[in-house]
Structure 1
Amino acid sequence: MKFYEGEIMMLVRGRVDKYDRETSQHIVAYLDILGIAARMKHGYEEQKLAMNKLHNLYTHSMDKRTAMDGYSEIQFKIFSDNIIIVKKLSEQPEKRLLDIRALLFCVSNFQCLAVKDSVGWLVRGGISIGELYIDETMVWGEALLKAYDLESNVAIYPRILLDSDLLSHIGSDEELSEFVRQDFDNLCFLNYLHIQHFGGQFLKSGFQMMLDELNGRYTERIYQKLCWHMNYVNRELDKKNERKDREYRLHLE
C-alpha cells in the first residue's frame, strides 16, 4: 500500500487502485418477499416459475411507461428473496424530493405488482435515507443497514416501514405524504396502494392465489400476516370510494 499527499493507493498485480470510492446520500429500500425460500425447495418447475416471476417484477417495476424524472437512475440488486432498490439523492432540496418520490413510486409499483393476480406474493421491508456506496460489485453503508434492520427486526407484517430520516424529508409535502400511513403501533409504512385505483378485482385474485398456495396449511404467524394484508387492502379500497365494488373485498375464513 502506498501513500501520496493524503491519498491511499494499492498496487495489486500491476494495477493501481486509488481508493477513491466514497459514500453519498441515498434513499434505499430493502425488501424481502415472504415465502420465496420455501418455494426454492420445491420442484424444478415451481422454482423456475418463482424465479421468472421475480425477474418480471423487476422488469415491470422499471417499465418506461411509468417513467418520471430520475426513474431511470434507480438501481436494483436482487439476491435470492431479497431486493435492494436504490436512488442517489440530489443536494438540491427540490430535486431531492423528486428523487424520493421516484423511489417511493418504484417500490409501490413493485409491491402492487407482487400482491396482485399476476404474482400473488407478500412483501416486507424498510426504506431509509443515509450514506451509501453502490456499484456493480458491492453495496456498502449505513442506509442499507437501517433499511435491513427495519425489514428483519421491526416490520413483522407485510409492510414496508419508513425510517425517521425519510419521514423528516417528507414532512408536510402534500404529494409525498400520500405514500405514508401510520399503523396501529404508531410506525409509519409505505402506502403502496396510493398509486393503485380500481384494482379490487386484481387484489382479490392475488389474495386468492396466496390462499390457494397455502391450501389451508398456515401457522398463526402466517395467518397474522394475511390478516394484516387483508385489513390494509380493504381499508384503502374504502378510502378510494370503491365501495360499489364490495364483491372484491378480501375475506379470510
Structure 2
Amino acid sequence: MRETYDKKNPKMLNSAVCFIDILGFSSMIEESCKNCNGNQLLNKLYHSIKDNIEFIKSSTQHSGAMNIFSDNIVIGKPVYDDGESELGQIFLGFAAYQLSLTLEGFFVRGGVSIGDYYANEYLAYGPALLEAHNIECCSAKTPRIVLSQDAKNLVKYHLTYYSNPKHAPQVRDVFIDTDGEWFINYLEAAIVSRDEEGYSCAYDVMIRHRDIVMSKINLFNNDTKVLKKYEWVAQYHNYFCKLNFAKSIELQIKGVSNCGGFKFIA
C-alpha cells in the first residue's frame, strides 16, 4: 500500500518537493502601492494563480500536498518505487504553471529536491523543503526552477531505462544551463503535441513570450542586476526557438548574447 501524508499521524516521507516564488514580488507590491495600484496588482495576481493552479493541483489530488502563501507555492509528492512518475508530474505541472504565469508578466524561480517531507493544509515541513527553498534563494538566481543534486542523480538513473537516452521524455523536460545547473524547460509546455497543429499553437505562445521578455528588458534597461535575469530568459527563449522553430527567425529576441551554452541532459 502506498503511503500518503497522514493528517492524523503526521510523519515525513521520502518525497519529491518543489518550491517556487515570483521574482521581484516585494518590489511589485511596493511600487504598485506607491502608485495607488495595489489592488490592481492584487487582482491580477489572484486571478493568475486561481486560473492556472489547476496545472499542478490535479497531481496532488490522490497523493501529495500543495501549499500556497502569497507568491510562494510548494508541492510535495511521496516517492513510490523509483520516483520517475512523481518527478515527471512535477516537471510537467510546474512547466505549464510557470509558462502561464510568465505570459502574464509573473516570472518565477524555484528548486526541486528529494528527501524527507510532510505537508497538510496547515503546514509544510522537512529538510526537503529547506533544500528546495535554499536552491530557490541561492542557486536559481534567474527565472528558472533548478534541480538538487539528488534530483539530478534520480533523473540520470531514469535515463538508463531507455535504450537511447536521447529519446527519454526527461530530455525535453530538463535542460542544462551554462553554469551546469539543471532546470525545468518550461517552454516545452507550449508544445502540446509535436504535430503541425501543436507547433502552430506553440508559435503563437512564443510570440507572446518573446514580447513579454522584451518588455521586461526595456523596463529594466537601466538596472543591470535585474536586467541580467531577463537577458537570461531571452537567451533561453532563443535557444528553445532555435531548436523547435529554426526557420522562424522572427521569434528570436535580438540584441542578447550567444545562447549556445545550454545543453540537453543526454
Bin of the TM-score, shorter chain as denominator length:
0.7 to 0.9
Taking structure 2 as the reference length, what is the TM-score of the superposition?
Answer: 0.75
Alignment partners' CA distance in 2, 1:168 and 1:181: 14
Percent identity between the two aligned chains: 24
The answer on 1:244 being equivalent to 2:235 is: no
Alignment partner for residue 47 of structure 2, among 56, 59, 66?
A: 56
> Which ranges in structure 2 are unaligned for 5 or more consecutive residues?
1-6, 162-167, 192-201, 257-266
Instruction: Compare the two structures and name the one with the higher strand fraction.
Output: 1
Give the SS at the match of 2:18. Answer: strand
Residue of structure 2 in register with 1:26 after alignment? 15
Per-residue CA shift, 1:167-211, capped at 9, x if unaligned? 222221611232121111111111111222322211023224434
Is contact 2:210-2:251 (8 Å) kept?
yes
Is contact 1:61-1:106 (8 Å) kept?
no
Alignment partners' CA distance in 1, 2:74 and 2:21: 9
Q: Which amino acid aligns with 1:180?
A: V
Alignment partners' CA distance in 1, 2:40 and 2:22: 15
Q: Which amino acid aligns with 1:87?
A: K
Output aligned runs, 1:95-106, within 5 Å.
Answer: 96-106=83-93
The answer on 1:39 being equivalent to 2:25 is: no
Alignment partners' CA distance in 1, 2:140 and 2:57: 29
The answer on 1:80 being equivalent to 2:70 is: yes
Taking structure 1 as the reference length, what is the TM-score of the superposition?
Answer: 0.78
The answer on 1:201 being equivalent to 2:207 is: yes
Distance 1:208 1:224, change over 3 A: closer
Q: Which amino acid aligns with 1:178?
A: R
Q: Which amino acid aligns with 1:128?
A: S
Q: CA deviation at 1:133?
A: 0.9
Residue of structure 1 in register with 2:131 after alignment? 146
Is contact 1:62-1:106 (8 Å) kept?
no
Is contact 1:36-1:50 (8 Å) kept?
no
Is contact 1:161-1:190 (8 Å) kept?
yes
The answer on 1:210 being equivalent to 2:216 is: yes
Residue of structure 1 in register with 2:260 after alignment? none
Q: CA deviation at 1:19?
A: 8.5
Distance 1:86 1:206, change over 3 A: farther
Per-residue CA shift, 1:102-152, capped at 9, x if unaligned? 111111011111222xx1122111111111110111111011011011111
Alignment partner for residue 227 of structure 2, among 218, 223, 240?
A: 223
Alignment partners' CA distance in 2, 1:225 and 1:211: 9
Alignment partners' CA distance in 2, 1:209 and 1:153: 26
Per-residue CA shift, 1:52-90, capped at 9, x if unaligned? 3333343344437x998x453454322233222222322
Is contact 1:26-1:132 (8 Å) kept?
yes
> Which ranges in structure 1 are unaligned for 5 or more consecutive residues?
1-17
Q: Which amino acid aligns with 2:118?
A: Y
Q: Which amino acid aligns with 2:213?
A: F
Q: Which amino acid aligns with 1:181?
A: F
Q: CA RMSD in A?
A: 2.7
Residue of structure 2 in register with 1:178 after alignment? 172
Q: Which amino acid aligns with 2:188?
A: H
Distance 1:148 1:202, change over 3 A: same
